[in-house]
Amino acid sequence: MHVLKSRDICNLHFRITVVNFLFSRAYNELSENILNQRRSILMAKIDTMVQDFLAQKKVAVVGVSDKRETGCNMAYAKFKENGYQVYAVNPRISTFNGEPCFPDLKSIPEKPDAVFILASPKVTDRIVQQCVDLGVKHVWMHCMMGTKPGLAAGMTSVSQEAVEKCKANGIAVIPGSCPNQFLKADFGHAMMRGLWRLFGFMNVN
C-alpha cells in the first residue's frame, strides 16, 4: 500500500488548486463572452427593428399635445423634418400644428405604415387593437428607460399585453426607447441612447 508523504499531499493540493483556478477563470471568461455575444445580438436586434420602422413612409404619432411641449410632439416634428407623411392622433384635439389631428387610427384617410405611441399603456392597448384591425405591421411604444419599462412605471407607454398581441399578429414591435434617440438625435438623446446601451437597457428579446 502506497502512503502519500506530506510533501506529496502538498503538491497534490497545489495542483488541484491551480486546476480549479484555471477552470474557474476559463469558465468565467466563457460565460462573459457568451453574455457579451448575447448582449450584442439583443442590441443589434433593436437596431434592425429601428431601421425597419424608420424605413416606413407614413407614420401615425399617438399622444401629441397642444398644451405643452412633449417628447411626442418632438417625435412628430422629427418625422416631419425628415420627410415622413405624419399623422397626429389625439381624440381631445382636432388640429395640431395647423394639421388635422385624428381621434384614432381608423379615422386617418389612409392606413399608416407604422405607429409611434407616447400615451398611457391603456391607450396603447386600444391603439394596438386598431393596428391589428387595420393591418399595420410596425409599432413603437415609448419608454423613458429604454426597453426596461418596469424601471419607469409612470413614464412608459409599454403594455406587455399589447406587446404580446403585436407578436401574435405578426406586428414588429419595439417595446421601449424613442425615435428621438435614433432619428438624427440631438446631443442629449444620443447620450441617453449610449447610456442605456451601456446599462443593457436597449435589449429586445
From the CB of residue 21, how many other CB atoms can be counted at a distance below 10 Å?
10
Nine cell digits for residue 131: 393596428
pLDDT of residue 104: 97
pLDDT of residue 162: 97
Check: CB of residue 135 under 8 Å from CB of residue 105.
no
pLDDT of residue 5: 55
The model carries a pTM of: 0.76
Beginning with the edge strand found earlier in the chain, give each strand of the sheet holding 58-62 in spatial order: 95-96, 99-102, 85-89, 58-62, 114-117, 138-141, 172-175
Cα(11)–Cα(31) distance, integer angstroms: 30
pLDDT band with cut points at 50, 70 and 90 for residue 189:
confident
Residues in Cβ contact with 89 at an 8 Å cutoff, skipping those fewer than 6 apart? 60, 61, 62, 63, 64, 101, 102, 103, 104, 105, 108, 127
Q: Which domains does the chain have, with CATH numbers?
A: 46-198 (3.40.50.720)
Tell me the per-residue pLDDT of 18-76, one tens digit each, with 9 for 90 and over: 545 545 554 455 445 433 444 444 445 788 999 999 999 999 999 999 988 889 999 99
Question: C-alpha 137: how far from its chain's center?
Answer: 16
Mean pLDDT for the chain?
Answer: 83
Burial class (CB in 10 A: 0-12, 13-18, 19+), 15: exposed
pLDDT band with cut points at 50, 70 and 90 for residue 79:
very high
